[in-house]
Amino acid sequence: MHHVFELFSDIFAFRDNLLSRLDARVKLLLALLTIFSVILSGKVVFPLLVFVTAVSLMLAIRLPVRLVLVRLAVPMGMVAVLVILQTFLIGSTPLFSISLLGRHIQAQQEGLLRGLLMGSRVLGSVSVVLLLSSVTPAHRIFHSLRWLGVPRGWVEIATLMYRYTFTLLDQTADVLAAQRVRLGYSGLKRSLASLGVLAGAVIVQSMEQATRTYEAMSLRGYQGHMPFGPLPALSRKDLWTLGLVGAGVMGIQVVLEWGLL
């Protein structure tokens, strides 16, 4: 359970470093700008540069290598599937062919290039989000989202979801441990049955937790919305950081996209 906690927790964001000292609003705006630039990229160079830079920064702030790899495992798997599907389903210029289950399957050059571009966008965007969560506590991100004008209800739901994710993970771990002690995963049939019971238990626990949370909030004066305190104005240093880094990101993208290097 400790490894799962590290995977979802923002505990490393409370470390003191150069990135964590920046205003959360500046980091959020820069992250959104970078993701937007990555999505609009027509070449793989800029998204891959963003991916390498983000991973390098995560390692530079001493984030455990194992944790970085685990957090990137699912996006990497999605990218691999995406590239394979695009390669064999899109295009007309043949690259190579294979025989699978008696069927002739041909890889296409256009599909491969398109898959690599889409995959690079996924990796670039995900790495930016991971870097942001590694240097900014979750409550500051939610507060900054409210400052940006995100609807209050969305921010409240996101806050509660993040808060009670760990509670449900603990309860899931307890049920899973009890099932293993009772040999609930000793065979394929029993494993499937145990997984069904586990899923049902998680759903029931989540509904019960929602009821308990609402009752507790009502007793504490909750009237349909949470109070979000005002944030101070951005300092001149923050504005300069936002402007210079933002201009640098856009400038690098233009140079790489238009091939001026």
Percent of the chain surpassing pLDDT 90: 25
Asked if 51 and 140 sit in the same domain, the reply is yes
What is the number of domains present in the chain?
Answer: 2
Q: State pTM to two decimals.
A: 0.81
Asked if 24 and 103 sit in the same domain, the reply is yes
- Confidence (pLDDT) at 7: 55
Give the number of C-alpha atoms closer than 13 A to the C-alpha of residue 156, restricted to the C-beta side.
13
Rg (CA), the chain: 23
User: CA-based diameter of the chain, in Å?
Assistant: 67
Asked if 33 and 121 sit in the same domain, the reply is yes
Residue 167 tokens, joined: 């509670």
pLDDT digits (tens, 9 = 90+) for 185-233: 888 888 888 888 888 888 888 888 888 888 888 887 777 677 777 788 8
Asked if 83 and 202 sit in the same domain, the reply is no
Asked if 14 and 59 sit in the same domain, the reply is yes
Asked if 138 and 156 sit in the same domain, the reply is no
Give the other-Cβ count within 10 Å of 132's Cβ: 21
Which residues form the domain of 106?
A: 1-149+235-261
pLDDT (mean) for 47-66: 91
Asked if 217 and 183 sit in the same domain, the reply is yes
CA angle 242, 245, 248 (to 5 degrees): 140
DSSP 90: S
Asked if 205 and 86 sit in the same domain, the reply is no
Asked if 181 and 79 sit in the same domain, the reply is no
Give the other-Cβ count within 10 Å of 236's Cβ: 8
Distance CA 13, CA 10 (A): 5
Q: Which of 36-50, 89-103, 119-133 has the lowest mean pLDDT?
A: 89-103
